[in-house]
Structure 1
Amino acid sequence: MGDLTLVTGGARSGKSSFAEKIVKKNGKNVVYIATSIPFDEGMKSRIKKHRKQRPESWHTIEMYKNFNIILDDDKFKYADTIILDCITIMISNLILEKNIDFDDISEEEIDTLENQIFNEIYILLDALKDKNVVLVTNELGMGIVPSYKLGSIFRDIAGRVNQYIAKRANKVYLTVSGIPIEIKGEK
């Protein structure tokens, strides 16, 4: 059983840089799982910056679902450390790929959607169970309440997913203004 570390924080809080620092310090054979989809110029620019700051020796896998298929990837098999950036982008992709009218969505449909997302989280954590893993996610519970239904659904699901992962994690860090604060660790 490997170690699971969760790094959370707000937008531009330094969470990705800190997660990469952890991995650079401890990982030898690293797989970087990138969950973002480059849908506009801003996202393409962010992806380009992220690629530049990580070592070329890291193997990158771009995916946000069906994580059981990475078990067959040779680079994954021999990796000792996995970094995944980011859980909330993964959740966003899973929500937006559904053909749902979020203004008229029922509570039953929201529950079904959340269950589908949690199933992907279970598959992910199962696939990574024997590796040292650093997961990056956004802390969404400190902001304003979204004024639209899709935003509230996203925030609520992401919050519950973050809680679930944090409970399973050996270590959890919150980054604030580039400063990591350990909020759960092995003492």
Structure 2
Amino acid sequence: MGKIVYFTGGARSGKSTQAERYIFMRNYEHKIYIATAIAFDDEMKARVQKHKEQRGENWITIEGYKNLVEQIKPHAKAGGVILLDCLTNMVTNLMIMEKDYDWDHVSNEEVEKLEQSITKEVITLLEYLKSIDMDTVVVSNELGMGLVPAYALGRHFRDICGRMNQLVAGYSREAYFVVSGMMMKLK
């Protein structure tokens, strides 16, 4: 069985770079990259390109944010590694894509139902990742150290993503917090 390794930190903290370095130092032969971001504008397209260049060749790339187990299965190989970058984008997309909420007036019941759906998606993925003979590195933004968002969507996102971060950290065998490009081992 593979292990789950979790990297978290603030925006531009260096967490993706440290996660990639962690993988490169272990010389995995078979590498899968799960890209959860959707490049809507030129800035995001440039970020995606930069990450591709940092990783280099020899990666299988899966682009998506839901039903990831079915997308991973055909590419899974014993002794390899999966890099999911990032959980934050995955949660964002699960919250807003294909949804039509008035976030300023959404009911608590609807938010709870949405969070249950996201939790199910994340647990299904984590259980699968635990069951295969590949290591998985998950990158996510730490959102709980800043100001409370002034708008409802921001608060719901912070809360749901914070709980998904806790879930992944709980499943992980190793966890790292990255600040200013430096990583601290949490577990």
* TM-score between both structures, scaled by the size of structure 1: 0.94
Q: Is the 8 A contact 2:30 2:77 kept in 1?
A: no
Across the aligned residues of Structure 1 and Structure 2, the Cα RMSD in angstroms comes to 1.2
Residue aligning to 2:31: 30
Q: Is the 8 A contact 1:71 1:127 kept in 2?
A: no
- Which consecutive residues of structure 1, in runs of 5 or more, have no partner in the other structure? none
Q: 1:104, CA displacement in angstroms?
A: 0.7
Equivalences for residues 39-58 of structure 1 within 5 A: 39-58=40-59
Q: Give the alignment partner of residue 179 of structure 1, picking from 149, 157, 182.
A: 182
Equivalences for residues 24-173 of structure 1 within 5 A: 24-26=24-26, 27-73=28-74, 75-77=75-77, 80-97=80-97, 98-129=99-130, 130=132, 131-173=134-176
Letter in 2 for 1:152: R
Q: 1:139, CA displacement in angstroms?
A: 0.2
Letter in 2 for 1:157: I
Alpha-carbon separation, structure 2, partners of 1:68 and 1:5: 18
Letter in 2 for 1:116: S
Q: Is the 8 A contact 1:31 1:79 kept in 2?
A: no
Moved more, 120-129 or 137-146: 120-129
Alpha-carbon separation, structure 2, partners of 1:72 and 1:82: 12
Alpha-carbon separation, structure 2, partners of 1:62 and 1:144: 31
Structure 1 residues 50-71: Cα deviation after superposition (integer angstroms, max 9, x where no partner): 0111020111111111012124
Q: 1:78, CA displacement in angstroms?
A: 5.3
- Which consecutive residues of structure 2, in runs of 5 or more, have no partner in the other structure? none
Q: Is the 8 A contact 2:14 2:179 kept in 1?
A: yes
Sequence identity, in percent? 46
Q: Is the 8 A contact 1:5 1:172 kept in 2?
A: yes
Q: Secondary structure at the match of 1:165?
A: helix
Residue aligning to 1:14: 14
Letter in 1 for 2:164: V
Alpha-carbon separation, structure 2, partners of 1:42 and 1:50: 13
Q: Is the 8 A contact 2:126 2:171 kept in 1?
A: no
The list of structure 1 runs, each at least 4 consecutive aligned residues, that deviate by more than 6 angstroms after superposition, is none
Structure 1 residues 28-80: Cα deviation after superposition (integer angstroms, max 9, x where no partner): 2110111000111111111010011102011111111101212442x334561
Alpha-carbon separation, structure 1, partners of 2:69 and 2:51: 25
Structure 1 residues 105-151: Cα deviation after superposition (integer angstroms, max 9, x where no partner): 00100100101111110121123222201000000000000000000
